[in-house]
Amino acid sequence: MVIGVQPASAANPIIPDRFVADPSAHVFNGRVHLYLTDDQTNSGTYWDSKSWRSYSSSNLVDWTDHGDIFSISGFSWASQYAWAPGATERNGRYYLYLPVDRTKIGVAVSSSPTGPFTDARGSALVDKARDANTGEEPIDPMIFTDDDGSSYMYFGTRTPKVVRLGADMVSTTGPIMDVGLSGATKYGEAPHVHKVGGTYYFSYSTGWPGQIHYATGSSPAGPFTYRGVLLDYVNVNTNHHSLFQYQGQWYVAYHKNALEGGGNHKRSV
């Protein structure tokens, strides 16, 4: 199945006045919230911005800019590379999962989906120097919560990783595991999990450049079997998507080069 991306009545890109990328889309309190990498403030030659942005909308046409929602300076233990964020809500608290330094994932928490967010732990949730089996780069965190309340964090490049989160959402439970993936596909980065009925859908970018492929399984930790292409190559060397359901319709948010002056490091959602 290939989702045809239709502009409907919204502008595409939906943020026409700022380079942003790596959408993590969530419906909180009846609004769609996007958490994003800020390509506007990077050097133009690398993804070296230092803060994350967010926008929200109730109609997918008009977007409210919530500005910088968190900066690397809020993590005393991190210094650079504010890459693709993940987000979730539990018990009225909102959590951002933020990859930094290409080696760590931190968590920031707030009582509002638009912040202010603060470091939830004072240390990294995942740290390549500390933890076993983080893989080459523990980046691109994505949180999925199953119907039984168990939450999982997916992340990683080249080999997809999964770890269970504690009920507090700011600790891990058990080891970091490889996500089993079989069939004619290659995992690159940008993991995403959603569930329809009893089926778990694992989707991901195949690399650089990458298509978004999807695979299905009967358990949140996999294994998953390749099923097909969800989103084709885009005109930049990274592909990163997020699926969400809003008012009865499924959508995919993604990035590409769509504004004047854009490119591999200046992307649009």
Q: Is 20 among the residues that bind ligand FUB (CB under 6 A)?
A: no
Q: Is 38 among the residues that bind ligand FUB (CB under 6 A)?
A: no
- Is the CB of 167 or the CB of 202 nearer to ligand FUB? 202
Q: Is 190 among the residues that bind ligand FUB (CB under 6 A)?
A: yes
Could you give the CA distance from residue 243 to residue 252 in angstroms, rounded to a whole number?
4
Q: Is 83 among the residues that bind ligand FUB (CB under 6 A)?
A: yes
- Is the CB of 208 or the CB of 250 nearer to ligand FUB? 208
- Is the CB of 58 or the CB of 259 nearer to ligand FUB? 259
Q: How far is CA 22 from CA 95, 148, 216, 239, in A?
A: 17, 28, 23, 8
Q: Is 253 among the residues that bind ligand FUB (CB under 6 A)?
A: no
Q: Is 154 among the residues that bind ligand FUB (CB under 6 A)?
A: no
Could you give the CA distance from residue 199 to residue 218 in angstroms, rounded to a whole number?
6
Q: What long-range pairs does 95-101 form, CB within 8 A, spacing at least 24?
A: 95/120, 95/143, 95/169, 95/170, 96/35, 96/52, 96/69, 96/70, 97/125, 97/141, 97/142, 97/143, 97/153, 98/52, 98/70, 98/141, 99/138, 99/139, 99/140, 99/141, 99/155, 100/72, 100/75, 100/124
Rounded least distance, CB 266 to ligand FUB, Å: 11
- Please select the residue that binds ligand FUB; options are 139, 176, 212, 243, rule is CB under 6 A: 139
Q: How many residues bind ligand FUB (CB under 6 A)?
A: 12
CB 110 within 8 A of CB 126: no
Q: Is 256 among the residues that bind ligand FUB (CB under 6 A)?
A: no
Q: Is 47 among the residues that bind ligand FUB (CB under 6 A)?
A: yes
Residue keyed to tokens 């979730």: 88
Q: Is 140 among the residues that bind ligand FUB (CB under 6 A)?
A: yes
Q: Is 22 among the residues that bind ligand FUB (CB under 6 A)?
A: yes
Task: List residues near ligand FUB by CB under 6 A.
Answer: 21-22, 37, 47, 83-84, 139-140, 189-190, 238, 240
